[in-house]
Each structure stands twice: as C-alpha cells, then as structure tokens.
C-alpha cells in the first residue's frame, strides 16, 4: 500500500521535459503591477495553448527571494475558448516578508504527461518603515493588519488588542523575531463597530517591552450582505467557568442567503468576533480545525475534474484570518497522485465505465475532517464509492450495490500525497472491518441528501438507487506518542486505530473501540447502555493515562428496542482507555439535556471542565454550546454554561483565535 518511491518516480517522469514540447504558456500576469504593500490581494491569470489532446491543468507556486517554491494551489483544470486555455484565477496575498517573490505557474496535460512552467518576479513593500507601528484595515471589518519594526533574533513579537475603555487584553501568538524584516500579524478577535487600542510588544526572556505608540482604531460594522446566526445565552458563564477559554469558534452549516458551512467566532455573550467567507461566496466552507497562529483548515465545494460537475468537498484550503488562501489541494489532483501510487479504488468517478461492474470504485469527495500533524503533514478523510454484488448488506433491489466507504490520505507540508488507507482493503472481518456488517441503523444515501457526499455511481444503470453509507467516518486524531491515526466511524458505532506508525505502518486496524468491538466496558455506574453510539469528535486528552473525550450522539442507544432503549438524550463522555488490557472505564457520562442526533463536539478545557456541543437538536435544528463542571467521585457533571445558536457542525472553546485546543 505504501509506494512512495513509485509515486516519486512517476511524478519525475511526468515532470520531465517532453522531446517535442506542445504546451505554450501565452501569458501570466498579476491584476496590479509590482510592487505593492504586504497583504495586498493580487489575482494572477495564466493562459496557454496545447497542440495535443487532453485538458490543461494549472498549478501556482511561490518562492521568496532565493528560496524553494511552495505549492499554493495545486493542479486544477482550466477552461478553453477558441483553442486558448485560461487557468483558474489565483488570488494571492501574503504578509510573510517584504522583498522579491517569484510566482510560478506550471501547466500540465495529464493525458500526455507534459508539464511546462514560467515565473514572474513580484515585489512586496514593507508597511512599517522599520521604526513605526502601523495598523491597516483588511477586507474583513473585524481583522486588522498590524505591522511593526523588526526585532532581535531570539526574541518574540506579539500584538495586543484592548477595547478603548476596557481592561481585558487579547494577545496574538508569539512570533519569532527577525531583525532583517518588519513584523506583520493579522489582529483578530474584536467586536464590530468598537474602538480598540492595538499595540505590539517584544518578549525577550522574562522581559516584555511594549511599543511606544499604540494605535487606536474602530472596527467596521458587520456586513449587511450576511445574516449571522442568532445567539441566545441560556445559562450565563460564571466564575466556575474556565476563565481562560472565553471564545467560541463555530463551524456553522448555514447562514445567509447563498452561503453555507461558514466559520464564525463569538464571545460567551454571542457577540461576533470574527467570520470567514470564501472568495467565491457560492461555495461552502466547512471549518475542520483551527491551527496555532490563526490559520484554519477548511473543506470547500467546487467542480470535480471528472465528471465536471458541482460537488461537495472538492477543495481542501488552509486559510488565514484575513480570509486568504494559504495553501490548497483538490480531489482531482489527489486522484492522479493516488493512481500514480498504484491505488485501485481512488480514480475519477467520471471514468468508471457504465453500467458500473462489481469491483468498480472511485474517489468522490473530501469530507468531515482534515487535520495537521505535528511535523506539518496533513491527514484527511475522503469517501470511496465501490460496487458490490446484488444482495450485499441486505440490499433487496436485485441490482449491483453501491457501498460508500472511506479513505484516509496523508499529505506532506506541500500538500503532496505520501500515504493512503483504503477501508475496502480491510473489509475481511475479524479484527478488521466486515463488509457484511452494514451501518448499524441501516443508513443509506441519495443524491443531495443532508450528511451524505456527492454521489457518482448510485442510481446509474444497473446500480441500486440507494447507496449504503457503510462507515460515515467523521473525525481523525493523530496519536503522536505512537505515530498512529485514530478515526471515528459513526455508522459502525466504533472508534478505530490504524497502524500508521508515522508512515511506515501496515495500515491494518489495531483495535475497534465501541459496542461489539475489542474492548470491555467497566460499567461502574450500571448504565443500561454504557457505550457511545453514532459519536463525534473523539480525541485523546491525555495519552499517558488514556483519557479520551467523545460526544455521544446516542442514535443507536435511543433507537427503538431491540437495538436501543427507545428514548434518551445525547451524552458528554470521557473514558480511560486501557489499550493493553482492552478495557474502557467511564470518567464522565453526563446526559446533556438535549438529543443532538447529528454533528457535535467534545473537549477537555484547561481548568478540568468539559465542553460539549449537541450539533442538531430538533425541531429547530439548533446547536448548544455547553460547559460542564464534573462532580468529583462520580461520572456526573453540572451544566454551568449554555448558549444556543444556529446549526454548527463543530465548535471549540479557546482563549483566542491564535491558540486552538491541544487535542
């Protein structure tokens, strides 16, 4: 399964110059001329022609000064008119360093394997003159660009924000100083239409030296073009609440007239502190993880390569607080990299011959989760559709059966494929998965159904109209102490560990945690249904003790007998998982007072409290952000904060936008 060397060899062959080049890059130009101040949004456009058949794809990379090129947006098809290919536009902005950048476009024909490149030098100017501190508005009214002088090597630069008449100081993360360039940070986490004092400070050991001249600004109003969710505080925060984590970052499913899956940050009163909208407002952006320093990972919609249709989860984008794309990959280029690595189930869905034969398979979308590993690599969930014989998983149509499985892809810091895991390669039963063990509640998918990926093979000629949603993986966790990957399968009611071993593992499933899995539950509180079910947001909170947190949606538990108990709410859970003795012991198992049948969050806070979010509570599809105070010596807890909002896939309690939870 791990064929990195083969991938590199194939990639080298594809990048090698053709003996008779047929691709010509006709133009590559920015929307505004060089030089421009740091942070200026610049849109690049490229055109090319090709005498060969096959679509042209375009990649954009950037190098600073004499450094190496870093891929910003990977190969994606352009459009053709009268024989001229125009690449997808490349919006680019950076505040990294003033100086000369080299912006490169590479054009590849995947049919012929030919690739050609050209680059343009572009200058970005400092905003600070090296002595003064300057604060500049951005397109987001709640985000300012703070620019200060360089500072000594070994020291750290930090920006502070304080309401003009307030006492609370919000701080960015500490950034390593450089004496040769100015320091630039996006300042975010402020309320709209409010006056703030913004300053910087240089931290050297135990000494903190503030800038001599703070800047006073007034944030802009929230845009009238967006309708933000309504927030209702049901149980206000008190001194019992975690005093460090006073910001809520929400991954909303929908707000506004034409946008969905958009992130918003609020304080515990529901005041908006930050929001993101895609540069293409018709495309949704599902927030998967906040990162240290303020960048965030998102999954965004767009057109698939093959077939060329609008589809969910076609892009993975890392964004910054100003809304710029820092890095991007897409399903189409990952399909090509997987094929080059020898993967058999991950090809383009549009190239599956119809009627789809048994064994046919394709990679459709990215979904639910993308995480960044400590070494800078990324791990992401993708869905695979695969065709099985009539009758599989109890299907009664007499037609071939479309089973939705999952894959896990690991990419390097340049978002290039390193490793993959295919659930269909581990469906042989035993301690692995079992293709005959369908979704425990029999879940299926149709095209456009909420919670389901875009479907490409279901309901085609000879294939049953309903796809069987076998696993519905919804969360990834990287166990750094072992180098393995853990994933949560909602429809199997299991959390499973994969032997990743930092890229050298077998890919086999090491254990399955949950009802009918590999662990015994120490039912110390005599719970009639102790295990979680249809869970979300599994995470190790302490790898030494084996403490994990998980949001127990409870779908199987509350389903009618003989499967479940017939009633109940969702639960906030924490367990001690003993992997050696294969036991799970409850630390927390608290009825949350709501039944959130889908979505959800779980998190251990800095002061020992827990945060849980029931994601979809009917009849109004509300989400509830809850802080729980554990009761010592029991598995119970008391709700000490409760805020109702619109439907959110997941939320985090954080001190600032720059400091995500460690798990």
pLDDT value at residue 90 = 97
Q: How crowded is residue 226: how many other Cβ atoms within 10 Å of its Cβ?
A: 17
What is the mean pLDDT of the segment spanning 133-148? Answer: 97
Does residue 8 have a pLDDT over 60?
A: no
What is the mean pLDDT of the segment spanning 143-151? Answer: 98
Asked whether 185 and 231 are in contact (CB, 8 A), the reply is no
pLDDT value at residue 450 = 87
Predicted confidence (pLDDT) per residue in 216-245, tens digit:
999 999 998 888 899 999 999 999 999 999
Instruction: Tell me how long the chain is.
Output: 663
* Residue 30 binned pLDDT confidence (cut-offs 50, 70, 90): very high
Does residue 132 have a pLDDT over 50?
A: yes
pTM of the model: 0.94
Token pair of 464, please? 């049953």
Q: How far separated are the first and last CA of the chain, in Å rounded?
A: 28
* Residue 258 binned pLDDT confidence (cut-offs 50, 70, 90): very low
Percent of the chain predicted with pLDDT > 70: 95
Does residue 457 have a pLDDT over 80?
A: yes
Report the sign of the C-alpha dihedral through residues 266, 267, 268, 272, in that order: negative
CA–CA gap between residue 313 and residue 318 (Å, rounded):
14
pLDDT value at residue 431 = 85
Predicted confidence (pLDDT) per residue in 282-296, tens digit:
667 899 999 999 999
What is the mean pLDDT of the segment spanning 431-435? Answer: 93
Does residue 257 have a pLDDT over 90?
A: no
pLDDT value at residue 2 = 38
pLDDT value at residue 256 = 44
Predicted confidence (pLDDT) per residue in 469-490, tens digit:
999 999 999 999 999 999 999 9
* Residue 7 binned pLDDT confidence (cut-offs 50, 70, 90): very low
Does residue 11 have a pLDDT over 70?
A: no
Asked whether 575 and 584 are in contact (CB, 8 A), the reply is yes
What is the mean pLDDT of the segment spanning 147-156? Answer: 97
Of 165-169, 260-264, 376-380, 561-565, the least confident: 260-264
Does residue 5 have a pLDDT over 90?
A: no
- E strands in 605-658: 610-613, 623-630, 637-645, 648-654
Predicted confidence (pLDDT) per residue in 593-642, tens digit:
999 999 999 999 999 999 999 999 999 999 999 999 999 999 999 999 99
Predicted confidence (pLDDT) per residue in 502-548, tens digit:
999 999 999 999 999 999 999 999 999 999 999 999 999 999 999 99
CA–CA gap between residue 30 and residue 78 (Å, rounded):
17
pLDDT value at residue 254 = 63
Per DSSP bridges, beta strands 232-235 and 637-645 are antiparallel
Asked whether 576 and 602 are in contact (CB, 8 A), the reply is no
Listed in sequence order, the residues at least 6 apart from 422 whose beta carbon sits closer than 8 Å to its beta carbon are: 1, 343, 345, 346, 384, 405, 407
Q: 334: helix, coil or strand?
A: helix
Predicted confidence (pLDDT) per residue in 358-377, tens digit:
999 999 999 999 999 999 99
pLDDT value at residue 282 = 60
Domains along the chain with CATH numbers: 4-125 (2.60.40.3880), 134-218 (2.60.40.10)
CA–CA gap between residue 276 and residue 392 (Å, rounded):
43
Listed in sequence order, the residues at least 6 apart from 423 whose beta carbon sits closer than 8 Å to its beta carbon are: 384, 405, 406, 407, 433, 470, 471, 473
pLDDT value at residue 262 = 82
Predicted confidence (pLDDT) per residue in 64-106, tens digit:
999 999 999 999 999 999 999 999 999 999 999 999 999 999 9
CA–CA gap between residue 511 and residue 480 (Å, rounded):
17
- Mean residue pLDDT across the chain: 94
Does residue 143 have a pLDDT over 70?
A: yes
Token look-up 């902005």 returns 93
Q: What share of the chain is helix, strand, coil (3-state, %, to 5)?
A: 5, 45, 50
pLDDT value at residue 10 = 33
What is the tally of helices (H) and strands (E) in the chain? 3, 47
Does residue 53 have a pLDDT over 70?
A: yes
Is cis: bond before 77, omega within 30 of 0?
A: no
Would you give the distance in Å from CA 397 to the centre of its chain? 37
Would you give the distance in Å from CA 125 to the centre of its chain? 32
Exposed / middle / buried, residue 43 (Cβ in 10 Å: 0-12, 13-18, 19+): middle
* Residue 304 binned pLDDT confidence (cut-offs 50, 70, 90): very high
pLDDT value at residue 13 = 35
Listed in sequence order, the residues at least 6 apart from 346 whose beta carbon sits closer than 8 Å to its beta carbon are: 334, 335, 338, 339, 361, 362, 363, 382, 384, 407, 420, 422
């Amino acid at each position: 399964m791990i064929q990195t060397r083969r991938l590199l060899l194939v990639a080298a062959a594809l990048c090698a110059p053709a003996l008779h080049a047929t691709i010509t890059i006709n133009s590559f130009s920015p929307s505004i001329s060089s030089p421009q101040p740091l942070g200026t949004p610049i849109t690049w456009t490229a055109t090319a022609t090709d005498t060969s058949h096959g679509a042209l794809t375009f990649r954009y990379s950037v190098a600073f000064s004499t450094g190496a090129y870093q891929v910003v947006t990977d190969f994606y098809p352009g459009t053709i008119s009268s024989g001229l290919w125009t690449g997808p536009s490349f919006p680019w902005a950076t505040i990294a360093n003033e100086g000369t950048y080299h912006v490169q476009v590479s054009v590849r024909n995947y049919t012929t394997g030919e690739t050609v490149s050209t680059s343009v030098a572009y200058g970005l100017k400092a905003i600070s003159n090296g002595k003064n501190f300057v604060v500049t508005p951005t397109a987001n009214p709640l985000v300012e660009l703070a620019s200060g002088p360089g500072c000594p090597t070994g020291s750290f630069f930090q920006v502070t924000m304080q309401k003009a008449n307030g006492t609370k100081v919000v701080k960015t993360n500490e950034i390593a100083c450089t004496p040769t360039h100015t320091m630039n940070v996006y300042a975010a986490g402020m309320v709209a239409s409010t006056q703030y004092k913004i300053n910087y400070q240089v931290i050297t050991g135990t000494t903190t030296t503030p800038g001599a001249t703070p800047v006073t600004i007034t944030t802009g109003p929230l845009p009238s073009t967006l309708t933000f969710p309504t927030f209702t505080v049901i149980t206000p925060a008190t001194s019992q609440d975690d005093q460090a984590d006073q910001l809520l970052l929400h991954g909303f499913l929908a707000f506004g007239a034409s946008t969905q899956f958009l992130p918003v940050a609020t304080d515990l009163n529901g005041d908006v502190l930050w929001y993101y909208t895609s540069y293409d407002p018709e495309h949704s952006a599902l927030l998967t993880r906040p990162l240290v320093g303020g960048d965030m990972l998102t999954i965004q919609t767009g057109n698939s390569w093959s077939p060329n249709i609008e589809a969910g989860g076609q892009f993975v984008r890392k964004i910054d607080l100003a809304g710029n794309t820092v890095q991007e990959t897409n399903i189409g280029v990952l399909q090509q990299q997987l094929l080059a690595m020898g993967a058999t189930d991950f090809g383009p869905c549009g190239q599956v011959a119809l009627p789809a034969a048994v064994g046919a398979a394709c990679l459709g979308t990215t979904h639910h989760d993308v995480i960044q590993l400590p070494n800078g690599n990324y791990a992401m969930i993708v869905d695979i559709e695969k065709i099985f014989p009539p009758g599989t998983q109890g299907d009664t149509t007499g037609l071939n059966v479309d089973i939705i499985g999952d894959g896990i892809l690991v990419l390097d810091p340049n978002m290039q494929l390193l490793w993959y895991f295919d659930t269909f390669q581990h469906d042989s039963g035993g301690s692995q998965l079992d293709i005959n063990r369908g979704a425990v509640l029999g879940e299926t998918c149709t095209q456009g159904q909420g919670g389901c990926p875009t479907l490409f093979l279901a309901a085609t000629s000879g294939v049953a109209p309903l796809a069987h949603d076998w696993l519905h993986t919804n969360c990834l966790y990287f166990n750094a102490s072992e180098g393995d990957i853990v994933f949560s399968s909602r429809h199997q009611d299991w959390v499973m560990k994969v032997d990743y071993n930092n890229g050298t593992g077998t890919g086999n499933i090491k254990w399955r945690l949950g009802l009918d899995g590999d662990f015994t539950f120490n039912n110390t509180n005599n719970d009639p249904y102790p295990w979680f079910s249809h869970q979300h947001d599994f995470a190790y909170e302490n790898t030494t003790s084996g403490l994990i947190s998980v949001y127990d949606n409870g779908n199987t538990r509350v389903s009618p007998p003989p499967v479940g108990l017939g009633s109940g709410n969702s639960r906030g859970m924490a367990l001690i998982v003993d992997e050696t003795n294969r036991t799970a012991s409850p630390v927390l198992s608290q009825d949350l007072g709501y039944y959130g049948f889908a979505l959800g969050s779980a998190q251990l806070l800095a002061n020992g409290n827990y945060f849980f979010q029931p994601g979809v509570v009917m009849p109004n599809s509300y989400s509830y952000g809850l802080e729980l105070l554990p009761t010592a010596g029991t598995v119970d807890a008391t709700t000490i904060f409760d805020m109702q909002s619109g439907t959110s896939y997941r939320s985090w309690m954080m001190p600032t936008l720059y400091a995500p939870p460690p798990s």
